[in-house]
Amino acid sequence: MRARLLLLLAAALAAWPAARAQLGPSGSLGTGASPVQLAQFQPGIGPRANNLDLGPGQSVRLALNCVDLFADTPTARVAFVAPPSDATVTLASSMELAMSDAIGAGLLQVRGRGPLDPGPRPTGPWFDVMMTNTAAEPLHVSMPAGTLLVPAGQPVPEIGPGVRRLLAAAQSRGLLGSETLADAVWATRGFTREDVEQTAMAPLSDAAARRVQELLAAADLGYDFGGDSGEYARLYEERLRELGSATLPARGPAALANGGHAEAEVLADAEGHAVVKLAAAPGAAPLYYAGRVTLRRPDRLEVELLHLKTTRPLEAVRGLILVKLASG
């Protein structure tokens, strides 16, 4: 029986690399003729060590720190793989496999969170994945802190050994699961305070930014979280010059799709290409975006916000913003 199991594992692992990058037309995993790379979805790092016992069919929810600030949150249709690491899966027979091999052999499934999955949705800079035992026997899963999971078909991001030191420093300071740690992880990937603020549509306080820099220093990491200040204002001015014949500014209070409010200034050309400047609070530093005007009326504008670096719709505000204009 054990020899038969080993043969089945070997066959599954041989087939997995050829199929893992392909998606069917609806976005579900399949073997369609046109592979689609999922480079827009988040890889994630497990900040805590986990030792899990899963019965057949049993699922567990894991919260992962986002690795790519600019990528989208994975959906239930996004399957994950585990690059080579110290994470392991042990079968009831005491046979131990690398987690990457167990996923590839179909013994373990990891996917993004779906709307029907139980529990509250994460509200911070991390996301959930659902890990399910798809074998016919109990499994023990061992995941050291820093285990990386990557959407199938995406390139594996390079994660340096300093991330392990960062997680250890965060644990000693009680910062696991904190926004400070999430921002520090992004800093190790080259993202700055401004990147975080502009992408999340939420200015960071100087004290919060200082805590991130202190955590990086505690892990002996020399990244500058406050670097490139003013970069988005420069990108905004470049995009404004590209518009050329932009109309006069339209100013007014804006209702955001996430329930927030801001004061907005919109400049757009005749085709609806726009730049948008938002002030989330009186005296707050502006937030800068590109945009598309989808509706113009004398009393209002509807605008889709686009990230100035990625040029894609802003995930922090899924939907249009409504800018109310003064009548007359």
| Alpha-carbon span 180 to 211, nearest angstrom | 7
Percent with pLDDT over 90 in the chain: 62
Instruction: Encode pLDDT of 139-184 as tens digits.
Output: 999 999 999 999 999 999 988 888 989 999 999 999 998 999 999 9
144 DSSP 8-state letter: -
pLDDT of residue 270: 86
Alpha carbon distances (Å) from 210 to 189, 198, 205, 235: 18, 18, 9, 25
- Is the pLDDT at 299 greater than 70? The verdict is yes
Q: Could you give the domains of the chain?
A: 37-151 (2.70.40), 162-218 (no CATH), 231-324 (no CATH)
Q: How confident is the model at residue 199 (pLDDT cuts 50, 70, 90)?
A: very high
Lowest mean pLDDT among 35-44, 81-90, 205-214, 219-228: 35-44
120 versus 110: which is more confidently predicted? 110
| Alpha-carbon span 281 to 261, nearest angstrom | 9
Name the phi and psi angles at 179, rounded to 5: -70, -30
pLDDT, mean of residues 23-48: 52
Closest CA to 57 of 6, 108, 94: 108
| pTM to 2 decimal places | 0.81
User: How far is residue 24 CA from its own chain's centroid?
Assistant: 22
CB 38 within 8 Å of CB 152 = yes
Alpha carbon distances (Å) from 94 to 73, 97, 207, 328: 35, 10, 49, 77
pLDDT of residue 34: 32
User: Which tokens belong to 128?
Assistant: 């959930």
Q: How confident is the model at residue 7 (pLDDT cuts 50, 70, 90)?
A: very low
pLDDT of residue 218: 97
- CA 208-214-216 angle, to 5 degrees, is 110
